[in-house]
Amino acid sequence: MLNLEYMWGLLPVLLSYLPLTLQMATIAMVFALILACLLAVVRVSRVPVLNGLSLLFISFFRGTPLLVQLFLFYYGLPQVISSLIAITGVTAAVLGLTLHFSAYMAESIRAAIVGIDRSQTEAALSIGMTQSQLMRRIILPQATRVATPTLMNYFIDMIKATSLAFTLGVTELMGATQKEAAGSFLYLEAFLLVALIYWVIVEMLSWGQRRLEIYLNKAYQR
Amino acid sequence: MISLQGITKHFGAHTVFKDIDLSLSQGEIIVIIGPSGTGKSTLLRCINFLEKPDAGRLQVGDLKVDTQRASRADILALRRRTAFVFQNYGLFANKTALDNISEGMIVVDKLPKAKAHARAREILERIGLADKADAYPASLSGGQQQRVGIGRAMAANADVILFDEPTSSLDPQWVEEVLGLMKQLAVERQTMIVVTHEMQFAREVADQVVFMDEGGIVEQAPPEELFTAPKDERTRHFLRKILAPTGQAVP
């Protein structure tokens, strides 16, 4: 039988690590979004040289496992870049999550941009808008709407992926659970509880995602 | 004063048109007619560099541009002096009717938002859509969308409005309201160049009708002359083909 009393007692302990988990995911999401937008715009506008570099970047970060990338940043790079010796597990995790997810997100943003019908681009140019005004005011707001469901999925994925930070010695939600479980030997209770916590957070986000989509779609109601 | 000199456009090895000269003065209305695929729309698009011409010079007001040496600033200046109405409206789907009209005034002309909105409301009034200020394009009929498209062009305060087959993608029931608005602009002596298949409109509104065929201007004349006594056999042939089924008089 499950030791429910133990789980109940463990809940506040684990929840106290939740802020760190959410912080890592949120910061990584913000940077990943910015980077992904830049990559997508470079890809769409076919900026010479940068376009090639973006392709290489996207290919590498989609083509290798996140865990490998995290180890590379935390254990590997300090070997050649001495200033990285001081990199903390949290920083390495945020860096890894940012780069990894920006590669995926860049592709969905690019697809969303390409999907905006060409006549709006021409209309914006015809009234004298510059390329960057066109992007900021017409294309990106609409691409955001198209890409939002996918981007929210990546955010959800990212929250779960922060658990990998425990392999870099970070005591976040997963790391804390691991420690508690090792102390009490009640592995099933501890990991079941942490699974429930992740699940509830993801469900709450999905609810937010649906609300957001309704809001974003209000311009498109017939 | 708007003038085109020697405007030429190729798509790959295919020459769309060559050495087009055309000029119109302030308040003049030119309608361009001709068979499909003769480069009428492309010519219009060359005037504001939606297509880059391969040769020739453009003048709009006091702005003179050698199309082969046009800088980015020249192109932006040219676009600010010309406004475009698209066959497929090209409305910004994420913006209300009001914002579609005020967008250029705010972003390009740098008007304060309040002032731009006030002007946009005046324009909505003129195009008969005052009650649709907050409606998004998706909720408007084709005719209403195109009227907003024309409103957006009016807001640009351009020297000339270029109409690229403005009624061609409309359901027949919406054509009249769009043509009606264009006629109203014509009465106000808005300078315009209109590419259209609406012969009745050309007849009523144009100062000059230009017939284009096979990559060139075949003839240009006031509507009564062109429609009743065209000089070129190709013009006559085209008019017969297009007018006869509608029951209008053929030359």
ipTM of the complex: 0.91
b/e per residue, A137-158, with b = 16+ CB within 10 A? bbbbbbbbbbbbebbbebbbbb
Of B79, B88, B94, the CB nearest to A127: B79
Chain B partners of A122 at a C-beta cutoff of 8 Å? 50, 84, 86, 90
How many residues are there in chain B? 251
CB contacts, 8 Å: B82 with chain A: 126
A18-170 classified as CATH 1.10.3720.10 = yes
Instruction: Indicate yes or no: CB of A126 within 8 angstroms of CB of B93.
Output: no
User: How far, in whole angstroms, is CA A66 from its chain's centroid?
Assistant: 12
Nearest chain A residue to B134, by CA: A219
Q: What is the pLDDT of residue B140?
A: 95
Please report, for residues A93, B81, B204, the alpha-carbon distance to residue B174 in angstroms, rounded to integers and kept in the order given. Answer: 58, 29, 19
CB B147 within 8 A of CB B106: no
B138 and A219 Cβ atoms separated by less than 8 Å: yes
Residue A45: the pLDDT is 85
CB pairs under 8 A between A and B: 74
Question: One-letter amino acid identity for B159?
Answer: D
Residues of A in Cβ contact (< 8 Å) with B107: 129, 133, 137
Q: Where are the alpha helices (DSSP H) in B82-211?
A: 97-107, 113-126, 142-155, 172-187, 199-205
With an 8 Å Cβ cutoff, the interface of chain A facing chain B consists of 119-120, 122-130, 133, 137-138, 141-142, 145, 218-222
- How big is the CA angle at A87 (ends A83 and A89), to the nearest 5 degrees? 165
Query: Which residue has tokens 């060559």?
Result: B18
> Quick one: average pLDDT of B28-46?
94
Residue B136 has pLDDT above 70, yes or no: yes
Residue A73 forms beta bridges with which residues? none
Q: Which chain A residues touch B60 with a CB distance below 8 Å?
A: none
Q: How far is A138 from chain B (nearest CA, A)?
A: 7
d(CA B188, CA B190): 6
Contact residues on chain A for B83, CB-CB shorter than 8 A: 126-127
Residues of B in contact with A145 (CB under 8 A): 94
pLDDT of B251 above 80? no
Tokens 């200020």: give the residue. B133
Residue of A nearest to B107 (CA): A129
Task: Residue B79: list chain A partners with CB under 8 A.
Answer: 125-128
Cβ proximity of B151 and B144 under 8 Å: no
Query: In this complex, do A222 and B139 lie within 8 Å of one another by their Cβ atoms?
Result: yes
| Residues of chain A under the 70 pLDDT cut | 222
Whether residue B96 contacts residue B135, with contact meaning beta carbons closer than 8 Å, is answered with yes
Mark yes or no for CB contact A142/B94 under 8 Å.
Answer: yes
In our burial notation (b when 16+ CB lie closer than 10 A, e otherwise), range B49-80 reads: bbbebbbbbbbbeeeebebeebeeebbbbbbb
Q: Which residue, among B89, B92, B159, would best test binding to A if mutated, counting the most A CBs under 10 Å from its CB?
A: B92
- Give the start-to-end residue ranges of the domains of chain B: 24-38+161-251, 92-157
In sequence order, which residues have a C-beta less than 8 Å from that of residue B198 and are 6 or more positions away?
B167, B175, B179
Q: Which of B24, B23, B29, B1 is closest to B182 using CA atoms?
A: B29
Which helix (H) or strand (E) is B194 found in, with range?
Answer: strand B192-195
The token duo for B242 is 């297009």
Say if the Cβ atoms of B138 and A221 lie within 8 Å.
yes
Average pLDDT over residues B153-161: 94
DSSP for A104-145, written as a single string: HHHHHHHHHHHHS-HHHHHHHHHTT--HHHIIIIIIHHHHHH
Length of chain A: 222
Using a CB-CB cut-off of 8 Å, the residues of chain B touching A219 are 93-96, 136, 138
Which among B90, B108, B152 has CB closest to A119? B90
Q: Which two tokens stand for residue A192?
A: 């079941």
* Residue B105: alpha-carbon gap to chain centroid: 20
Owner of token pair 């309608």: B31
Domain boundaries, chain A: 18-170
Residue of B84, B88, B93 with shortest CB distance to A219? B93
- For residue A143, give how far its alpha carbon lies from the nearest alpha carbon of chain B (Å): 10
The secondary element (H helix, E strand) that includes residue A204 is helix A187-216
In this predicted structure, the answer to whether residue B41 has a pLDDT above a threshold of 90 is yes
Q: What are phi and psi of B140, to 5 degrees?
A: -100, 155
Residues A128, B79: C-beta atoms closer than 8 Å: yes
Could you give the C-alpha distances from B163 to A176, B31, B89, B118, B194, in angstroms and in order? 67, 9, 10, 25, 5
- For strand B2-11 and strand B55-60, is the pairing parallel, antiparallel, or unpaired? antiparallel
CA distance B149 to A222: 18
Residues B130 and B123: their CA atoms lie apart, in Å, by 8
What does the pLDDT look like over B74-129, one tens digit per residue?
999 999 999 999 999 999 999 999 999 999 999 999 999 999 999 999 999 999 99
B103 contacts in chain A (CB < 8 Å): 127, 137
State how far the Cα of B55 lies from the Cα of B67, in Å rounded to an integer.
6
Partner-chain contact B90 A130, CB within 8 Å: no
**Cα separation, A20 vs B199, whole angstroms:** 70
pLDDT given at position B37: 86
Kindly report, residue by residue over B162-221, the tens digit of the pLDDT. Answer: 999 999 999 999 999 999 999 999 999 999 999 999 999 999 999 999 999 988 999 999
Identify the helix (H) or strand (E) that includes residue A154. Answer: helix A140-161
Distance CA B199, CA A148 (A): 47
What's the pLDDT score for residue A222?
Answer: 65
pLDDT at residue number B199: 93
Averaged pLDDT of chain B: 94
CATH fold group of domain B24-38+161-251 = Rossmann fold (3.40.50)
Please state, as a whole number, how many other Cβ atoms lie within 10 Å of the Cβ of residue A191. Answer: 15
pLDDT digits (tens, 9 = 90+) for A145-191: 889 889 999 999 999 999 999 999 999 999 999 999 999 999 999 99
